[in-house]
Amino acid sequence: MILHVDMDAFYASVEERERPELRGQPIIVGGTPERRGVVAAANYLARKNGVHSAMPASRAKQLCPQAVFLPSRLDHYAKVSRQIRDIFHRYTPLVEPLSLDEAFLDVTGSEKLFGSPVEIGRQIKQAIFEELQLVASVGIASTKFVAKVASDLEKPDGFVIVESGQDQQFLDPLPVGRIWGVGRVTGQVFERLGVRTIRDLRGLPQEMLRQQFGDHGRHLWELAHGIDDRRVTPDREAKSISHETTFSEDIEDPDALRAWILELTEQVVRRLRRHKLLGRTVHLKVRFSDFRTITRSITLPRSTNVTQDIWKAAEELFSNRLPAQHQPVRLLGVGISGLDNPEQIQRSLFGDEDHAAQTNLDHAADQIRDKFGSTSIGRASGLLHSAKHVPKPDSGDPVPGMADLKSDKDLDRPSDDLR
């Protein structure tokens, strides 16, 4: 059986834990209304006022004027996330993190030591609360997809069990928006087709979905039928590491798209360095507004975990390997495969001063972010996705979704890491 553990309002809950005077108040983490930032996370009191992640902070201020706005401290949240994962690893080595605040756990081989999957789930939930003063929601099922849906169903402080063989009965009455990849745009298509529940979607022919959504249609059909044979894959056993993000509004501006690719690249490469891995093949995934999805890849001359090496490859794929004329983009993903342990790589006899300098730069940047926060240092081009495409303060329109190193809930449920 598989557990999906998802922290409740993670960023905001960490801030509230460390500043008890804020308890009982709506909390918004992210940008400030004055600086045209966006909401990275909001606690449930703020959400009751209509605040959600990736909303312009100015709009959040209008909806919830009494809210307390706090800056993001991603590297601090990462430290707390590692404490949570330490708890997971007490029960199973098969832990697959999706982001800072959620992970899949395969506990099939742990039952003789710790009891049934339900007992393990309750022990993990209790340990997180007692040791870290944080609340997690847990979903338990025989597949990753159903476990993830279950963990989200009764938030906050949820605990939902779907017994093996009961997947279809569990899924059928749920809104179609519970399926990964069904966001606002896809939901509008289903609305026109009269599809409101997963049962309705299950009744559609697979070929019809393929005509509407391309290969993504087959994926939707499989999930509606509870088909998901992916196993839980820890980072060190993964064939690839990736991050992707789905935007609430399609993006045409190539400079803004490059900025998002840079942010996704930095997230992937930091995971490589955190797990002491190198990668050689860089992948770029692009889904256009018509749901056509393409993946391009390039293999580097040598394995690396240097940000500049992987960023140059990803930027090359974006600039020269996409169709000259294409639809606006609704999803971007960056991944790297061909993973190696540094000790297994034969080093060159001749030094590479530029490569060494870039390695030192990454090391210094990691140390600065660890000490002062993720926003303390960054490449200038990465500012573009927040400088452009931010709606006017009074528009109330959402901005492009947050990256897969997500806040509390993405605008469009993200696909899992590409494996």
Whether residues 193 and 313 share a domain: the answer is: no
Whether residues 271 and 198 share a domain: the answer is: no
d(CA 386, CA 36): 8
d(CA 240, CA 93): 18
Whether residues 371 and 299 share a domain: the answer is: yes
Structural domain contains residue 287 = yes
Whether residues 204 and 284 share a domain: the answer is: no
Residues 6+ apart with CB under 8 A from 94: 105, 106, 107, 109, 232, 234
Structural domain contains residue 133 = no
d(CA 126, CA 115): 15
Structural domain contains residue 274 = yes
Cα separation values, 71 from 14, 43, 110, 167, 401, Å? 12, 14, 39, 40, 18
pLDDT digits (tens, 9 = 90+) for 111-169: 999 999 999 999 999 999 999 999 999 999 999 999 999 999 999 999 999 999 999 99
- The residue among 122 and 38 whose pLDDT is bigger is 122
- CA dihedral (77, 274, 231, 126) in degrees, to 10, reads -40
How many alpha carbons lie under 13 Å from residue 337 in its C-beta half-sphere?
Answer: 11
Q: Is residue 15 annotated as a catalytic residue, yes or no?
A: no
Whether residues 357 and 281 share a domain: the answer is: yes
- Count of structural domains within the chain: 3
CB 336 within 8 A of CB 283: yes
Whether residues 191 and 265 share a domain: the answer is: no
Q: Find the CATH number of the domain harbouring 190.
A: 1.10.150.20
Structural domain contains residue 375 = yes
Q: Find the CATH number of the domain harbouring 33.
A: 3.40.1170.60
Mean pLDDT of the chain, nearest integer:
81
Provide the residue range defining the domain that includes 344.
238-387
Whether residues 243 and 360 share a domain: the answer is: yes
Structural domain contains residue 296 = yes
Structural domain contains residue 215 = yes
Whether residues 211 and 294 share a domain: the answer is: no
Which is catalytic among the residues 15, 16, 102, 266?
102
Structural domain contains residue 151 = no
Q: How many CB atoms lie within 10 A of CB 22?
A: 16
pLDDT digits (tens, 9 = 90+) for 348-371: 444 455 555 555 555 555 555 555
Structural domain contains residue 106 = no
Structure pTM? 0.68
Whether residues 44 and 183 share a domain: the answer is: no
Preceding omega of 301 cis (within 30 degrees of 0): no
d(CA 365, CA 372): 10
Whether residues 210 and 249 share a domain: the answer is: no
